[in-house]
Structures are given as C-alpha cells and as structure tokens.
Amino acid sequence: MTPTAPSATVRRRPDGITCSRDTLVLVAEIQNITLSLPRDLLKRVKRVAVDRDSSVSALVAEALTRVADDHRRYSSARRQSLAALRSAGSLGTKGRRTWTRDELHER
C-alpha cells in the first residue's frame, strides 16, 4: 500500500472552537475476482469473518497469502536440498564398492 498526501480539514464551529481533521488515504492495487463456493461453506466463512471483525475478502486474501508463502518456502527448501545432493561429498570409498549385494543382505 502506498500512502498518498494527507488531506487536512480545518473549520471553526459556531461556538468558536477550531476543529481539525487529517486523513491519510492508503491506495492499494486490488484485483477483483469471482469465486464459486458451496453455499454452506460461504455461510460458515461469513460467520468466521463476523467473529473476527473482518470480511470474506480479507479471509480469502489471508488464506491465499498463506498458500503462496508455503509454496515459496517449499520451493526454496527443495532447491537447497537438491543442490546439497548434487554437491555431496565423498563417502570415503573413492568410487569403489567394497561389498557385494549378498553381503549387505546376509542375515
């Protein structure tokens, strides 16, 4: 959100008191979308919004933000893990196998 210049209103009341009010207007780039939800789910979400003193749009934005953040963290962790596997150090065998399959599976 980008704050715009505050607007100030100053006026003098009939009883001689000066009143001043400043308003800071926040501008955000918002994109409207259309969702199709089951009626019972929408009812439940509306109740949650009321309980949280929020709106359905705010709840949807919060949930989608969480999904996007989780995906970003997962993708980052996956990239790091794959890079660690690619650059794995030597196990001390110098590329030679000193055991046989049968030896590994002996009981």
Q: Residues 63-103: pLDDT tens digits?
A: 999 999 999 999 999 999 999 888 877 777 777 888 888 98
- pLDDT mean over 19-26: 67
Q: Domain segments of the chain: what residues?
A: 38-85
The better pLDDT of the pair 14, 82 is held by 82
- Give me the half-sphere count of Cα atoms (radius 13 Å) on the Cβ side of residue 17: 3
Instruction: Give the H/E segment covering residue 13.
Output: none
Instruction: Give the H/E segment covering residue 34.
Output: none
- Inter-residue contact 13 to 20 (CB < 8 Å): no
Q: Tens digit of pLDDT for each residue in 41-53? A: 999 999 999 999 9
Instruction: Give the H/E segment covering residue 64.
Output: helix 56-86
| Eight-state DSSP code of residue 67 | H
Tokens 């715009």 locate to 4
